[in-house]
Amino acid sequence: MVLMKTADKKIKVVSLFSGCGGGDLGLLGGFDFLGKHYRRLGFEIVWANDILPFAVETYKENIGDHIVEGDIRSIDSKDIPAHDLLVGGFPCQSFSMVGGRKGFNDPRGYLYREMLRVLKDKQPDAFIGENVKGLISINRGEAIRQIVSDFTNAGYIVDWRVLNASHFGVPQKRERVFIIGVRKDKKTSPHFPSPTFGFVPLREVVQKHSEVDNRYYFSQRALVGLDRANKAFNKGRAQDLSGPCNTISTHLAKVSLNGTDPVLLVGPRNYRRLTPLEAARIQSFPDSFTFSGSDARKYIQVGNAIPPVLMWHVAKAIRERIFNDRPIFKSEEERNNVADSLQEYIPRTKGLLVSA
């Protein structure tokens, strides 16, 4: 059967700004989170890159040795292997520092251009870019328009969506922009996943009291500070355990009761910060994923990551729609049992739905 023959053919991926590998884990699949198995999607990452040594160490330990540590600006495209799909969560600082039109001339504001350069030079079938939701409102939409226009001019059909991780089985209200492009000759278009899950409550990933070290609890002094704070500023962001967590960031190491980062209220006037393990679970990392370095470094890697489960859904949609000439299902039966968007374009046998 044709499906059997092509099922093992892997889609080659190059991953830029890979960090600790959150997005790459999602893209690969083959992991468990909250009792659900996220199967392998048929991608193979042939080359990855990040500048941050401890993130690269984590990546090597959990994903593979194919990651190269270094500044992407000094890596020649000819040293990057040919691939079918390019992925990159280009750094958001590139845009947060962009104040006005002048900011576009800041070389640090142009890291997405490195992705553009690789795209132009290597011409993969498709790409996935990821960034903070704020990207779409910078300079009244000028930044996203510029990016879409640049990627379009590189020969791609480009579209973007804001996806909320909590709609895909992640216990966090993280909203991110996904920009997807398909090379113009591919005769298909960018495709995004539809929300598939009800909310996963934060309660599901919080550790037991007995597992949490004292250093994660706030002192009485911090509580006095909280009492003095103006409530109008909505300080002390104690999370509602019955819903998804607010977005976590790299600040978690320095979180204070006076800030806006999520904290937990674990008893009357008893607050604590999230542990690195809880932060990782809130981002949908499986417990088996290990992070290198101090707590501060763990929070940075976790806070920067694309939630693996969210990326799995994005990658699955692309795998099925854009790379559907290389199906992931081993049999027709398995293929027909999938209750998702794939069903939209599978030709149905005429008369199947006609009842007697």
Ligand X SMILES: C[S@@+](CC[C@H](N)C(=O)[O-])C[C@H]1O[C@@H](n2cnc3c(N)ncnc32)[C@H](O)[C@@H]1O
Residue type, 36: K
Q: Give the separation between CA 205 and CA 281, rounded to whole angstroms.
A: 6
Residue 21 interacts with ligand X (CB under 6 A): yes or no: yes
> What are the angstrom distances between the C-alpha of 62 and each of 46, 55, 88, 313, 329?
15, 11, 18, 20, 26
Query: N- to C-terminal Cα distance for the chain?
Result: 32
* Alpha-helical regions (H) of 154-293: 220-228, 276-282
Task: Please select the residue that binds ligand X; options are 177, 274, 280, 305, rule is CB under 6 A.
Answer: 305
Residue 143 interacts with ligand X (CB under 6 A): yes or no: no
Nearest-approach distance from CB 45 to ligand X, in angstroms:
12
Binding residue count for ligand X, defined by CB under 6 A: 21
Burial class (CB in 10 A: 0-12, 13-18, 19+), 95: buried
Token couple for 64: 């593979």
Residue 263 interacts with ligand X (CB under 6 A): yes or no: no
Is the Cβ of residue 77 or residue 343 nearer to ligand X in the bound state? Answer: 77
Of 34, 92, 223, 338, catalytic = 92
Residue 23 interacts with ligand X (CB under 6 A): yes or no: yes
Q: Give the separation between CA 171 and CA 20, rounded to whole angstroms.
A: 20
Residue 52 interacts with ligand X (CB under 6 A): yes or no: yes
For residue 172, give the DSSP letter: B
Stretch that binds ligand X, among 67-75, 115-123, 217-225, 226-234 (CB under 6 A): 67-75
Nearest-approach distance from CB 331 to ligand X, in angstroms:
32
245 is catalytic: no
Binding track, positions 83-122, relative to ligand X; x by CB under 6 A: ------x-x-------------------x-----------
Q: Are 84 and 11 in contact (CB under 8 A)?
A: yes
Task: Please select the residue that binds ligand X; options are 55, 144, 170, 263, rule is CB under 6 A.
Answer: 55
Catalytic annotation, residues:
92
Residues of this chain that bind ligand X (CB under 6 A):
17-23, 49-52, 55, 71-73, 89, 91, 111, 304-306
